[in-house]
Amino acid sequence: MKLTVCVCTHDRPGYLRACLDGLRRQDVPQTAFATVVVDSGSPEPARSEIAALTAAYTGATLIRVDEPGVSAARNAGADAANEGYIAYIDDDAVPAANWVGSILTALDQDEPPVLIGGRILPAWEAPLPSWWPPGLRGVLSIIEHEGAGEYRTAALPPGMEPYAANMVVHVPTMRCVGGFGTGIGRMGTALLSDEEVQLAWRLQDLGLSARYESRIVVHHSIQARRLNPDWLLSRLYWQGASTVLTRRLLNDRLLVWREVPRRAAVALLCAPAALMPRDSTRFLAARWRWAYATGFLRAALGWRAANAARRIARPPSREMQPREMQPREIQPGRSPAPT
């Protein structure tokens, strides 16, 4: 089978139900793709509900992973996938009816990309507050750009990145580079991120194609509990740390140190605003910049953000652990032949 759809979930059977319903409504036959649900350490009763939902979905496979972190869950999904492509969708996203069909169309070419990012439209659970910084819609995993093109080129807006809420990857190539880095990505309530960016840029740096296609659409639930200053500041703090981890994983350590003086200056200038209560919307522009700079500086100066994230996440059990993806040699400019 050419395409495997992977839904990674943790303790959210209500969202998973809506996602699976969306997959049932695809405008291509269910035989056109396989489905894998990865339960990332959900406790009871959600664990049993997720198992029941997967069992009710014809042909779906359930994998239980007790190692914390979405990266480990996504790697486990790739381990279970067939040798074609894997399409990742978050459990709180609902695919458009032509989602799978659009993916198959995008792959139906002589030399398809090894990675494709898609459009992520918001499904608001509550209105976006008026105080929310307009330039920070992206931290809610929203991508509204219409068009197509290679990432990190003039074909797309500057700074545009793929999100694994809607992303397709060639499985053999992904395995060759070691998959998603398990030292980055969400772990429980720790908002580390950029694991998909790190994977995409690694592939591009090998001379492989990573593209954006806006015709591949999902509708992502923007949870009401995130639309508050405290969540925004936490998200930006962890994003600062994630930026450092990503650059180091991509061997851009010099770029980190070049940015340290600027981030230190921002943290110092904005520090007085950080004394405001976390739930206040006053001086928010200065406070979110302080939060990002602080996370960046802590990670740059030796704080082990990934270890901290693991401590925040619940301790893993020994019931099942996915094997670590081991990178294999891959020649720049070439990838295993897509199947």
Chain mean position to CA 316: 21
Chain mean position to CA 32: 24
- What does the pLDDT read at residue 188? 55
Q: Are residues 277 and 208 in the same domain?
A: no
- What does the pLDDT read at residue 306? 53
- What does the pLDDT read at residue 184? 63
- What does the pLDDT read at residue 189? 59
Q: Are residues 218 and 235 in the same domain?
A: no
Per the CB < 8 A criterion, the answer to whether 83 and 171 are in contact is yes
- What does the pLDDT read at residue 305? 53
Q: Are residues 212 and 235 in the same domain?
A: no
CATH at 61: 3.90.550.10
* Residue 73 in domain: yes
Structural domain ending residue among the three candidates 161, 192, 226 = 226
Q: Are residues 197 and 208 in the same domain?
A: yes
Per the CB < 8 A criterion, the answer to whether 227 and 149 are in contact is no
Q: Are residues 134 and 150 in the same domain?
A: yes
**Residue 216, SS3 per DSSP:** strand
Rg of the chain, C-alpha, whole Å = 20
Residue 126 neighbours by CB distance under 10 Å: 11
**d(C-alpha 186, C-alpha 180), whole Å:** 12
* Residue 94 in domain: yes
Q: Are residues 34 and 90 in the same domain?
A: yes
Domain residue limits at 285:
229-303
What is the tally of structural domains in the chain? 2
Q: Are residues 163 and 274 in the same domain?
A: no
pLDDT averaged over 10-residue windows placed end to end, the chain, 339 residues: 91 96 96 95 95 94 88 93 93 98 94 96 97 92 96 95 96 92 62 85 95 98 95 93 87 91 97 94 96 94 62 42 45 43
Provide long-range contacts, Cβ within 8 A and 24+ apart, for 263-269: 263/292, 263/293, 263/296, 263/297, 263/300, 264/293, 264/297, 266/290, 266/293, 267/293, 267/294, 267/297
